[in-house]
Amino acid sequence: MNDPQATQPIVVHSHRGWRCLRYGLLVLLAVPLLLLLLVAVGVIKHVHERGFFAPVWGPDAAVYFVERETRGWVFDLDGSLLGLGSDAAAHWSWVVADAVSVRRLQPLGQQLTTLRRWDDTPVAGRLLRTSPQAVFGVLLATLKTHGGLSFSVNISVPAADAGFDLQRQRALFTGRGDNVIRQQRELLAVPGAGFYPAAIISTRDNRDYSVLLSNDVFATLYPDGLDSKLLQQLSRREHIETQQNVLARRERLIETYQDDGLSIEAARQRADRILADDGYRIMEPQLIAMPVSEPAADERVFRIDRSTFAAGHFADIAAAIARPGQPATKQAQPYAGLGAAALNDWLAADEVSWVVTVEDRYYRLLLHY
């Protein structure tokens, strides 16, 4: 019972425990120090972004838009942020928090109202490997205020090697063409950091403008204000007004050809040929698809059998599904094939978003004008 050797294993074990504890403490101290060093040299960077998307005028002279606010960490594993690597290399990011909201701004009183908010987007809490131009993915939104407010929001994560077109995607930040001009004042989303527009402005002539809403980096990015060259690049006024005139002429031609006895489809085709001969092209809306795990409770879902794709039906939807997050031109003619009638009725009601299910996989479709 009192043999000293009987306690020796316990003493040896105790020393080993102290050594393990010391090593553990050293590791615990080293890890945060290493992280601080990586943050200090820019290998790990904390990023906070806030942006304003798809601003449109409402019938009440208020501005409706989508806001996104994201916080996260960006990991520069190849040194491109330090100028040591390639800007085309993939970036890793961890999205800590991501909130999206539909908001209303009353310009006169600068009163902001949140109409709907999502505090947990599909990318929140995820580790992303994506394009360095869009480390937190890209938000695409469309809002419509004619006949009541309707909206659709998608967040896509472009592949690192997808050849991401920054300018083309930024063009999708603006609102619908029929809602962005009111009493000669055009709403513009001003480019900011990455894919987060820094401000919403209104301008009458692409020279004088009013900043309706801006984020924290707007003044830093544009210390001397916005010059007329940038405003002209952002403006779609001439294009929108031309398209409106062309569409009005197209409707008159269609009515004339129908009065001459042509069917509606034949009248449309002849009107489009006349306009094409005159050098005009009807603005084609874009269709964007995004895979979702399941639709929201209030979303309309349409089932499409993959065999209808093989038969040539729903070709634009098939193209959008094949390249999620990338715009595909929306076909002008009504859909044909199984299930087409219900979808045609949905689009005839001027809806801009719906969900399709193909072989038990769901895709949210966004129609952007």
Sequential DSSP letters for 135-152? TT-EEEEEEE-TTS-EEE
Say if residue 106's pLDDT is above 70: yes
**302-328 average pLDDT score:** 89
Give the confidence band of 33 by pLDDT, cuts at 50, 70, 90.
Answer: low
pLDDT value, residue 349: 78
64-98 pLDDT, tens digit each: 999 999 999 988 765 444 444 444 556 788 999 99
CA distances from 106 to 52, 110, 199 (A): 15, 5, 15
Find which of 30-34, 81-85, 169-173, 270-274 is predicted with most confidence, using mean pLDDT: 270-274
Which token pair is 342?
């219900």
For residue 332, the cross-strand partners are: none
Give the confidence band of 52 by pLDDT, cuts at 50, 70, 90.
Answer: very high
Q: Which of 126-135, 159-168, 328-337 has the lowest mean pLDDT?
A: 159-168
CA distances from 261 to 56, 252, 253, 256 (A): 40, 15, 13, 9
CA distances from 167 to 99, 133, 328 (A): 24, 11, 16
Say if residue 41's pLDDT is above 60: no
pLDDT value, residue 11: 44
Strands 353-358, 301-303: parallel, antiparallel or unpaired by DSSP?
A: parallel
Say if residue 230's pLDDT is above 70: yes
Q: Which of 7-16, 130-139, 331-340 has the lowest mean pLDDT?
A: 7-16
Which token pair is 234?
């952002």
pLDDT value, residue 171: 47
Looking at every residue in the chain, the average pLDDT score rounds to: 80
Q: Which of 24-33, 123-132, 261-270, 350-359 has the lowest mean pLDDT?
A: 24-33
Task: Identify whether the C-beta of residue 118 lies closer than 8 Å to the C-beta of residue 100.
Answer: yes
* pTM for the model: 0.68
Nearest to 121 by CA among 92, 156, 172: 156
What is the C-alpha to C-alpha distance for residues 292 and 152, in angstroms, rounded to an integer? Answer: 14
pLDDT value, residue 297: 79
Q: Which of 119-128, 147-156, 194-203 has the lowest mean pLDDT?
A: 147-156
Give the confidence band of 55 by pLDDT, cuts at 50, 70, 90.
Answer: very high
